[in-house]
Structure 1
Amino acid sequence: MAGYHKRVDTGEADPNALNPDGTPVCRVRLPKKWNNEQFARAETMMGANHIRVQCIDGVSRMGRIKGKIKKRQWIREGDTVIIVPWSIQDDKCDIIYRYLKPQTDWLRKNRYI
């Protein structure tokens, strides 16, 4: 894999690795289609761990921040996230992942969003 450098001493990925064009290596998680995951953009903070999101399929849903993310990351308006729509109520979803700025730029550059 181009740009993937292993550290000799520990065997883990080098966080300072660069691509041949000089840009930093960016690892990005993509939505799993088999799990009904999709991209969305956080629009409005509603309070109490709820966010109004605009999904890639054109539907505006009320998103609930899962506990795993709630304790570790802050989600702000304008962030790109991965959501899973509820099977019972299509206008609600769970937010399961938040992208950082370099990851969002990579997704745009490679035309995922």
Structure 2
Amino acid sequence: MSEERRDLRMPEDEEVFAEVTEMLGANRIRVRCEDGTERTARIPGRMQKRVWIREGDIVLVEPWDWQDEKADVEWRYEKSEADQLREEGHV
């Protein structure tokens, strides 16, 4: 278990944990962030075909500086990683 903990990516700078609540289409998703804000998040091109995001997934998002209701997805956690984050109390 301790080896897995080192592998998990934790939020940096402005990033926050979020849960995907709705798929909007056109590479956009609705997320509920840990700070209590609902945001529309954009899936960047580098993740579109490589990482499949579904409702209920835990992701890292970086809110936009100029529009707080929008964000960019930076990382998606696998189910086992998300369970570990919940067990450790991060999410």
Structures share fold, TM-score greater than 0.5: yes
SS in 2 for 1:90: coil
Q: 2:11 aligns with which of 4, 19, 31?
A: 31
2:62 maps to 84
Q: 1:97 aligned to 2:54?
A: no
Correspondence 1:1-113 to 2 at 5 A: 4=3, 25=4, 27-32=7-12, 34=13, 36-113=14-91
Work out the CA distance in 2 between the residues paired with 1:61 and 1:55. Answer: 7
1:3/1:72 CA distance change after superposition, 3 Å: same
SS at 2:30's partner residue? strand
Which structure features the higher share of helix residues?
2
**Percent of matched pairs sharing the same residue:** 44
The TM-score, its normalising length taken from structure 2, stands at 0.92
TM (norm. structure 1) is 0.75
* Unaligned residue ranges in structure 2 (runs of 5+): none
What stretches of structure 1 of length at least 5 have no aligned partner?
5-24
Q: Aligned partners of 1:65 and 1:112: how far apart in 2? A: 23
Name the Cα RMSD after superposition: 1.5
**Which ranges of 4 or more aligned residues in structure 1 deviate by more than 4 Å?**
none
